[in-house]
Amino acid sequence: MSNDILIARPRGRLQGSLTVPGDKSISHRSVMLGALAEGVTEVRDCLMGEDVRATMGAFRAMGVTIDELEDGRLLRIHGVGLNGLKAPTEVLDCGNSGTSMRLLCGIVAGAGLPATLSGDASLCRRPMRRVTEPLGLMGARIETAAQGTPPLHIQGGRALHGIDYVLPMASAQVKSALLLAGLFAAGETCVTEPAITRDHSERMLRGFGVEVAQSDSRVCIRGGQALRATSIVVPADISSAAFFLVGAALQGRETLTVRAVGVNPTRTGVLDILRLMGAKLSLDNPREIGGEPVADITVHPGELHGAEIPADLVPLAIDEFPALFVAAACARGRTVVTGAEELRHKESDRIETMARGLRALGVTVETLPDGMVIEGCQRLGAGTIEAHGDHRIAMAFAMASLRAEADITIHGASAIATSFPDFVALARTAGLLI
């Protein structure tokens, strides 16, 4: 059978303990800041999925040496400093990674390098004006396709200046792109968010010796600061852990622990939402790894019920909604999600893609411009799902098999390799029949 098709069978049982791969957001930023630092940065437990490899490939194309040691468990990045990047002689291929493209756009524009950023068919449908327009206000000149999509053509030799920018929509990627551009810009760059988003960039910049000023929803950075090489240990990715946490919660009869998960408070919306839906979770052995809070997360037996998700939790769980929609489909009662329009601009339109998949399994779903209303049911039917090349859609429906009456066939599953190359093997070890 093609590795693009998964068959998830009913009657699996998740239990025991497991460890998921390193955090994707932190892995991207480790490579980027390590490349811009002076000296050699070592990164342990970096996620070696296709998305992060796209970031690594881009920096190698700009003259940065990155050694992969210990079968990829350790990266050694030979930083070139803020002024050491070289103009690439080829298109920077970001693959399927929106994080790579948006953050690289800020760095390449800031460095004043001529470059073209492109990616696969899915990435080339994603909106980029939310990044290119504020970078234009800083002095960059970036051309997009007619619809504001990639490829992005960045003109070289443009000196940037700081701006004070209010984000029209909460986005950690846009915030990070502007802050990274601000490293190169004259003066100070400030970004104000309409809602709090993940703060990995701010934390890691401080870890590399950069002064970052923060007050409530406003963050500022002064241009021209040198980054000092450091050592980083990447915690387990809560977005990857979410599939197993949701799976354990919706089956409701076993205990499952996911070890050493990053629990940065700007990323724990998935835990708050699961608790709101009745899940019994505990966080044990709290500690700090590389400036990021970490804990072991255990799901205890219990029953899920529907809930109206508060708007302030939505940005804190934006990547976890495919899994949470499956949880809602298996919960008792109605779940309402609004304020999540960002989901329409991910690897797929996650509102429509999830709605079609849930309907194929017999779930009553109403889509909204910025969310979804889901009527929970005790059991899901059999069905064939089209993941549209979206890794999180494929993994979410694999977990849905824990409450299905018969097989769920998932097309487009090869995209899982972008963020979680060992998902199928780990899921089988934990008790999923896949």
- Is the per-residue pLDDT at 34 higher than 60? yes
> Is there a single domain that holds both residue 14 and residue 28?
no
- pLDDT in the model for residue 252: 83
Mean pLDDT of all residues in 359-384: 96
> Is there a single domain that holds both residue 356 and residue 244?
yes
Q: Domain count of the chain? A: 2
Going by C-beta distance under 8 Å and a sequence separation of 6 or more, which residues neighbour residue 146? Answer: none
- Is the per-residue pLDDT at 1 higher than 70? no
> Is there a single domain that holds both residue 195 and residue 314?
no
Joined tokens for residue 180:
């990274």
- d(Cα 339, Cα 319) in Å, to the nearest integer? 14
Tokens 């800083």 locate to: 138
> Is there a single domain that holds both residue 242 and residue 106?
no
> Is there a single domain that holds both residue 252 and residue 302?
yes
Q: pLDDT digit string (tens) for 144-178?
A: 999 999 999 999 999 999 999 999 988 999 999 99
- pLDDT in the model for residue 378: 79
Within 10 Å of residue 158's Cβ, how many Cβ atoms?
A: 18
Q: Of the candidates 199, 224, 249, which is a domain's last residue?
A: 224
> Is there a single domain that holds both residue 116 and residue 139?
yes
Q: Tell me the percentage of the chain whose pLDDT exceeds 90.
A: 92
> Is there a single domain that holds both residue 192 and residue 61?
yes
Going by C-beta distance under 8 Å and a sequence separation of 6 or more, which residues neighbour residue 270? Answer: 238, 239, 242, 245, 316, 317, 320, 323, 324
Residue 74: inside a domain, yes or no? yes
Residue 112: inside a domain, yes or no? yes
Residue 230: inside a domain, yes or no? no
- d(Cα 76, Cα 42) in Å, to the nearest integer? 5
Q: Of the candidates 224, 252, 274, which is a domain's last residue?
A: 224
Residue 342's domain comprises 5-22+236-430
> Is there a single domain that holds both residue 124 and residue 261?
no
Contact 55, 30 (CB under 8 A): no
- pLDDT in the model for residue 2: 61
- d(Cα 256, Cα 144) in Å, to the nearest integer? 46
Residue 78: inside a domain, yes or no? yes
Exposure letters 101-131 (e unless 16+ CB within 10 A, then b) = bbbbbbbbbbbbbebbbbbbebbbbbebebb
pLDDT interval class at 3 (50, 70, 90) = confident
319 is catalytic: yes
> Is there a single domain that holds both residue 204 and residue 254?
no
Between 410 and 418, residue with greater pLDDT: 410
> Is there a single domain that holds both residue 194 and residue 77?
yes
Q: Of the candidates 224, 256, 272, which is a domain's last residue?
A: 224
Domain of 17: which CATH number? 3.65.10.10
Closest CA to 170 of 244, 100, 266, 256: 266
Q: pLDDT digit string (tens) for 234-262?
A: 999 999 999 999 999 999 888 999 999 99
Within 10 Å of residue 16's Cβ, how many Cβ atoms?
A: 12
Residue 262: inside a domain, yes or no? yes
> Is there a single domain that holds both residue 412 and residue 349?
yes
> Is there a single domain that holds both residue 267 and residue 317?
yes
Q: pLDDT digit string (tens) for 35-58?
A: 999 999 999 999 999 999 999 999
Residue 229: inside a domain, yes or no? no
Within 10 Å of residue 287's Cβ, how many Cβ atoms?
A: 11
Q: pLDDT digit string (tens) for 79-130?
A: 999 999 999 999 999 999 999 999 999 999 999 999 999 999 999 999 999 9
Q: pLDDT digit string (tens) for 199-233?
A: 999 999 999 999 999 998 999 999 999 999 999 99
Question: Which one of the listed residues 319, 370, 390, 422 is annotated catalytic?
Answer: 319
